[in-house]
Amino acid sequence: MKGLMIQGTASDVGKSLIVTALCRILSNEGVRVTPFKSQNMSNNSYVTKDGKEIGRAQGIQAEAARTEPSVWMNPILLKPRSAQNAEIVYLGKAIETLSGRGYREHFYEKGLAVIKKSLQHLGDEYEILVIEGAGSPVEINLKDRELVNMKVAELADIPVVLVADIDRGGVFASIVGTLDLLEPNERERVVGVIINKFRGDLSLFEDGVQWLEEKTGVPVLGVLPFVENHMIDGEDSLSIMTQFAYPRKGTLDIAVIHLPFISNYSDLEPLLYEEDVTLRWVKHASELGHPDAIIIPGTKSTISDMQTLRDNQLDILIKNHVANGGFIVGICGGYQILGEELIDKEGRDINIPNYIVKGFGLIPAITTFYQEKETNRVIAQYHQATGLTATQRLEGYEIHLGKTIFSKGVVPFLTLANGEDDGYFGNDGQIIGTYLHHLFHNDEWRNQWLNMIRKKKGLPVQGIQSISEYKDKRFDILANEMKSHLKWDLMKKLIQQWGSK
């Protein structure tokens, strides 16, 4: 098996982005390449063509590699449901919820087996595997039963490149400390270091590169610049805050409710590239102000997050916003929150069977949570009763537990390809609820919705901003930028020569 594993000195050092770039670089050279991450912890997921759920980062990396995403690329996905527990998605299907201790004590052997099976499957189909680690490989309290860093490199028998983030500071200590804490056999597997997120004049770091190579005996394979607006979907809460850190001061003010267990926040990212839109997070009532529109995104724990909104009195402000004519969109869990009532029939959402709680009452609907999760790729069109017109179908995916039933006649938002209706379209589009993730990735819809807001503000309507046209181009831009700062020939040599001595 040929490949390379990208591990990091910490979380959010840029592993996912680098793996994405490497997948496109290799694909551009005609290599059949695939990404792999054995175990991912993220509520930002991706639905494969066959309706299975994997980490969003691996889905995006597969797109960069020009191959179809599959469960073999991320056989274990952990979706946090509380500070202590996470849902285990095994080969694309949710199987149980365990605590961190329960997972370590009862899932390790099963996890190890599916990782071996996945590696074998991918190794038979692809020429090179680009594997992503998680966090740091030297979390001493977890190393004995880890399933995502050096154990995976050992199973695949491939070399490791260590990535460090210079932007956060302490890059020398993080690299030297990580290498020193590795076991001798693990240390031998590290064939290079990449410095990521460098700002400024690269020539000023030449002495740093020399010192690192002399101190560690490991070559520095590249010093990568901080890449702004790369438009590659993020994976975790740290990348969320990075994306929204410096909102554009546009004329349309859109507030996104930052739920504690937010999921699939990549639904919102296309709005970041609309020139007249300010997209900002709101955690507390004092931050809401008077936006033109509010978006309540998906969540891994609808009832818990709704209670947080009530505790912060955001529910009152959101209802006042709608009463005053403000626009609102609820996606998946956000859609459920806008309803009249939520019933956790089997304790699937908060582990209390038959728990009933009132929603915000903005949509006349009752949502009941059942055991089985719905995960599907979806093609849809506007429901004819909305009066909306489109030249293109809407595409996205569903991933939810609840079944939402209306308590009276309403106008649905969408008609799915299977003939079923989805969502709610109220007050000529002022209130919208839907289970369709990636709604705003549909350029025509995003433009129609923003033009509704523009018209109400007395602003001129605008044409469609075709963000989707940039999707493939952005992979090439990223790959070319990264490759220009890497010792690429040496990296290929390290991949090909590993294990041949």
| Tally of CA atoms within 13 A in the half-sphere of 298 that contains its CB | 26
What amino acid is encoded at 337 in this protein?
I
Query: What's the rounded Cα separation, in Å, for the pair 415 and 379?
Result: 9
- Which of 321, 383, 400, 437 is an active site residue? 437
State the DSSP code for 460: P
Query: What's the rounded Cα separation, in Å, for the pair 270 and 4?
Result: 31
Retrieve residue 403's tokens.
Answer: 């079944």
How far the first Cα of the chain sits from its last, in Å, is: 15
SS3 336: helix
Query: What's the rounded Cα separation, in Å, for the pair 324 and 456?
Result: 12
Q: Is 201 exposed, middle or buried (0-12, 13-18, 19+ CB in 10 A)?
A: exposed
Retrieve residue 278's tokens.
Answer: 């300010």
- Which of 23, 332, 438, 441 is an active site residue? 332
Retrieve residue 185's tokens.
Answer: 């056999």
Instruction: Name the residue with tokens 């009530």.
Output: 310
In 3D space, the residue among 431, 464, 410, 414 whose CA is nearest the CA of residue 293 turns out to be: 431
Query: What's the rounded Cα separation, in Å, for the pair 458 and 276?
Result: 14
Cβ-based neighbour number of residue 255 at 10 Å: 26
Gyration radius of the chain's alpha carbons: 23
Cβ-based neighbour number of residue 112 at 10 Å: 16
Retrieve residue 376's tokens.
Answer: 């599907």
Edge-to-edge strands of the sheet including 85-90?
39-41, 76-80, 85-90, 93-99
HEC string for 85-153: EEEEEECCEEEEEEEHHHHHHHCHHHHHHHHHHHHHHHHHHCCEEEEECCCCCCCCCCHHHCCCCHHHH
Query: What's the rounded Cα separation, in Å, for the pair 216 and 25?
Result: 28
Task: Classify 224 in phi/psi space as left (phi over 0), alpha (psi -120 to 50) or beta.
Answer: beta
Asked if residues 108 and 147 have their Cβ atoms less than 8 Å apart, the reply is: yes
For residue 121, indicate whether it is catalytic.
no
Nearby residues of 213 by Cβ (< 8 Å), 6 or more positions away: 219, 220
For residue 437, indicate whether it is catalytic.
yes
Give the catalytic positions in this structure: 332, 437
